[in-house]
Structure 1
């Protein structure tokens, strides 16, 4: 996948070829900071910017901001400006920098127009993945609800989710969460008989086709329901059995939630019938293994690591 690394010089050339209405230099003389101040649904984003000490940074030249709404912040526990006191300024800065691109990027920028999972470098050299299709503009699988808001120093794209900076790989991402500790234990146990599986999950595989994967990650409740209630239960299980299960939860390539479609996906499991089935149940996308009685639901989608898209599910998928 080609990375979109737009230098200031290249951006000026791109913008020179755009229609006048798409050129941020023709916008009203207000910056990204001004737009945030004027928009009521960005009140918590404004508080986050203040907490991170980034107000001046948003006044710089040629920037693009993916801007989470108040509802997006509330969904992760920040319900008032005062709630940001529970997070350090450096932590908040890391989160906000992951929403900020140096360079003015709109849905009409040539490298983005018609793109699928194009890599765009955000702050701290972390990568965002942008898709621009007939269904709309998406970043890390999340729909941009109001794209291409032109300001004097770039563009603002409104989103309904706070984007978290990615961990280095699947193994690291799982260890950062409290709800998938049994899956982490299963990975370690399975690696004793399938070290190649560990390299796929930790991003060190030499197989170029498996350097980007999608993982359907059963949460701890899912493992408990499948009979693995504790880490001791995981460690007592045959490692080959766990490896067989884990490969059945892993798919080649990045598949974000907006790209999940009704049908089947081929997993890395070695069985002849190694597909999982996606279906719509009560207008909700579900995923089912061959031996599951009922389908699993996706509890949290589009968790990004350096080598994977992770979707947390509420059942262990059985081949």
Structure 2
């Protein structure tokens, strides 16, 4: 580990010394105060600086243009499992490039004075979208991007603007929920159950949904241990069960928090079968407008359930992975 830390220190020193020597088209280069400079000068963005350097995207952020950089803080990288910048540098270039391109918007996005809206889309250099929401909650105006909180807004540079986030965004690479579910091995039985129930194709359309997807453990606990059992099941029974796990419209976990008045600790969600479930909001005690997650309770559940994972994004919605069935 010490050798990795030394390697990182050397790489950072080299990047700082040689940054001005990077080969950039002279007609496109900006002399100073680029987004790359803003990142390098911010001590709270060392993980991001490492990712940009390794992927070569630091050169993009030196060029003329008008970009928006969605900048995950160092704490955001740590929360995503990176112990230090050396761990970021160890990632494959292809992964860092995809990840980085998803954090750069093609156009400037300023939030000061921005209208209050939910789930507004913006296109990234990756070619897929991110979604921002902005609401007034009590005395505070809160802004989120893909469900992550905006920490520092509208830091301007010569070639764009930087927005600092508390979350490292996971690149949206699936055009629809059907594709996103198919790509997750731990949701394979849920995918097949949706297909058998006649619900799968609707998740491949243009309408937006929120899916509380049951992982394979949860499906097996329901009495469907494999694909054969699902194929033998009554489609009507499967549809009744699974339609209670899908809601209309895209809602990230923190969107439920944004949609409730200050002081409210739960949100009532209406599912496809017109029945409701309760989304409980979690936060830090005595910290105004804090949010740490959600629990979910069906009308037939004896207690609230904690999602295994939240905010898995697709082009037409979002997935929250559940390890237990929502009972109606």
TM over 0.5: yes
Alignment partner of 2:307: what SS? Answer: strand
Partner of 1:5: none
Aligned runs of 1:116-135 on 2, under 5 Å?
116-134=118-136, 135=141
The answer as to whether partners of 1:78 and 1:84 remain within 8 angstroms in 2 is yes
Partner of 1:11: none
Partner of 1:298: 307
Partner of 2:243: 247
Alignment partner of 1:130: what SS? Answer: strand
Structure 1: give runs of 5+ residues left out of the alignment: 1-28, 205-210
The answer as to whether partners of 1:106 and 1:148 remain within 8 angstroms in 2 is yes
For 2:212, which of 205, 211, 216 is the aligned residue? 216
1:259 and 1:83 mapped to 2: Cα distance? 31
| 2:175 is aligned with 1:171 | no
1:183 and 1:124 mapped to 2: Cα distance? 29
Count, aligned residues: 276
Deviation at 1:236, TM superposition (A): 4.1
Deviations 1:104-137 (A, max 9, x none): 221036xx43222111111132111111222411
For 2:254, which of 252, 258, 263 is the aligned residue? 258
Partner of 2:80: 76
For 2:40, which of 37, 44, 51 is the aligned residue? 37
Deviation at 1:234, TM superposition (A): 3.4
Structure 1 pair 186–310 and aligned structure 2 pair: CA distance change class (3 A)? same
For 1:238, which of 234, 239, 259 is the aligned residue? 234
Partner of 1:104: 108
Structure 1 pair 235–123 and aligned structure 2 pair: CA distance change class (3 A)? same
| 2:201 is aligned with 1:199 | yes
Alignment partner of 1:221: what SS? Answer: helix
| 2:147 is aligned with 1:138 | no
User: Which one is further off, 88-97 or 165-174?
Assistant: 88-97
1:227 and 1:153 mapped to 2: Cα distance? 57
Deviation at 1:87, TM superposition (A): 4.0
1:140 and 1:128 mapped to 2: Cα distance? 6
1:236 and 1:69 mapped to 2: Cα distance? 49
1:171 and 1:30 mapped to 2: Cα distance? 43
Task: Calculate the TM-score normalised by the size of structure 1.
Answer: 0.78
Structure 2: give runs of 5+ residues left out of the alignment: 1-31, 261-265, 285-292
2:156 and 2:84 mapped to 1: Cα distance? 28
2:133 and 2:255 mapped to 1: Cα distance? 10
Deviations 1:200-253 (A, max 9, x none): 11226xxxxxx1111112223333443444444434433322222221111111
Structure 1 pair 82–177 and aligned structure 2 pair: CA distance change class (3 A)? farther
1:231 and 1:83 mapped to 2: Cα distance? 39
1:146 and 1:245 mapped to 2: Cα distance? 42
Partner of 2:280: 279
Partner of 1:161: 167
The answer as to whether partners of 1:137 and 1:147 remain within 8 angstroms in 2 is no
The answer as to whether partners of 1:189 and 1:242 remain within 8 angstroms in 2 is yes
The answer as to whether partners of 2:102 and 2:128 remain within 8 angstroms in 1 is yes
The answer as to whether partners of 2:178 and 2:201 remain within 8 angstroms in 1 is no
User: Which one is further off, 163-172 or 226-235?
Assistant: 226-235
